[in-house]
Amino acid sequence: MVRTVVSIDDDDKKWLDYEAAAHGTTMTAVVREAIAVYRHIKENEQSIDELLNATRGTWKHGDGLDYQKKSRKEWG
């Protein structure tokens, strides 16, 4: 492993210390886990265009806008 020095705000340091104590681990372990979670999220996120393309054509009940207008009329 590589050692790295990182400057963080006092509040973030207090939070890290609290999380480490609450979970019976070290601050370093909390930082490693946070990085792993962040990396997983970033590597698996999709752009809005990708999401739209992935869900295109899933509504099979006619015109979606007509359905919305009809449903909203029922609201009052």
Domain ranges of the chain: 1-47
Distances (CA, A) of 22 to 25, 29, 66, 70: 8, 12, 52, 51
- Quickly state the pLDDT bin for 28 (edges 50, 70, 90): very high
Q: pTM (2 decimals)? A: 0.61
Question: Domain 1-47, CATH 1.10.1220 — does that match?
Answer: yes
Asked if residues 20 and 29 have their Cβ atoms less than 8 Å apart, the reply is: yes
What share of the chain has pLDDT > 90, as a percent?
A: 59
Q: For residue 37, what pLDDT band results from cuts at 50, 70 and 90?
A: very high
Pull the structure tokens for residue 65: 């806008």
Q: What percent of the chain has pLDDT over 70?
A: 100
pLDDT value, residue 19? 97
HSE-up of residue 45 (Cα within 13 Å, Cβ side): 8
